[in-house]
Amino acid sequence: MIGANDLRGCYPAIITPMTSGGEAVDFAGLERLVHTLLDAGVPGIAFAGTTGQSATLTYDEHVQVVQRGAEFARAYAKTLGREVLVIGAAGSNATHEALVLCERILAEGRVDAMLQVTGYYNNPPQEGLFKHFWAVADLAAEHECATILYNVPSRTCSNLEPKTVAKLAQHPAIIGIKEASGSLAQIQEILDGTSRETFAVLSGEDHLVSDVLLRGGTGVIAASGNMWPAQFQRLCELGLAGKHDAAEELQRALIPCAKAVFSAKNPIPLHFMLKSDLRLPLVGVEELNETDRLRVYAAVETALAIKTFPHCQ
């Protein structure tokens, strides 16, 4: 089983490419994108998360995206002569469903870590979140698979508090958190309440990576990593090497890229840039109202016009 020290760098939260009209998962497109990301030097990839349209995947599709994505990644990494870390998102606001989904994914596929989101809509209390994550981590551990917590209150209306994170970090298979609260104060409190040796803090906000690294975080699970994987990986390398001034300079240069990715509801702009269809209720950029559409066009044009980034060869 991997540990906290294995979570270092940029892990793109990969999109799930779709065929025309969102009819089916485009697995050939997924494989091509996996190759592109690994060619850029990222240490791993996160499949079937928010950016991967998990909410609109069928149960079978979700399992297949993680399992086949893992197969694509491991096979291509082997040709590159290196290892790859595979993260599979399998969260639910119902503990039973999360357990069933994890069991099915892990029964037939090799995944290094499961990414587990906080309960959405039913907004469970901290005690419920603790029991939920502990139960899922127990199951994953039976398959030699680690668990990464995922806190994204802007999407779930459920905030995993630092004191709860500290308790969960005592589980030997819970090795880190993707922290997307946007609060550096909360991130610092998590870092202060956990051990750097056994628990990794990954940024879940693409514009805060350098700040998280400066405080002791070890990387990012980044939606922007779909388009700028090498640059976000370099950002992590600089921060992990203690070159924080250089990391901050590169982070500033990447801000327009993050703004483009989030210029409309994620992953709409990414699918526009990567020329892939979406599945309802998500729609393409061309179907947005004029104000939103023009905002995305302008943000994407600005980001794609950047040809060089500081401290990147």
**DSSP classification of residue 118:** P
Residue in the structure block whose two tokens are 């639910």: 92
Strand (E) positions, 75-197?
Answer: 85-89, 113-117, 146-151, 174-179
Which candidate in 150, 163, 167, 307 is catalytic? 150
CA 25, 28, 32, 34 dihedral sign is positive
Our answer to whether residue 78 is catalytic in this structure is: no
CA 264 to chain centre: 18
Instruction: Return the DSSP state at 82.
Output: S
User: Is 178 assigned a catalytic role?
Assistant: yes
Instruction: For residue 294, give every residue at least 6 positions away whose Cβ sits within 8 Å of its Cβ, in sequence order, or none.
Output: none
Q: Which two tokens stand for residue 287?
A: 């179907």
CA distance linking residue 273 with residue 286, whole number of Å: 12
* Helix, strand, or coil (residue 58): coil
Catalytic residue among 178, 259, 265, 275: 178
Q: Where do runs of H (alpha helix) occur along 3-49?
A: 27-39
CA atoms within 13 A on the CB side of 72: 25
End-to-end CA distance of the chain: 34
Which H helix or E strand runs over 47?
Answer: strand 44-47
Active site positions, annotated:
150, 178
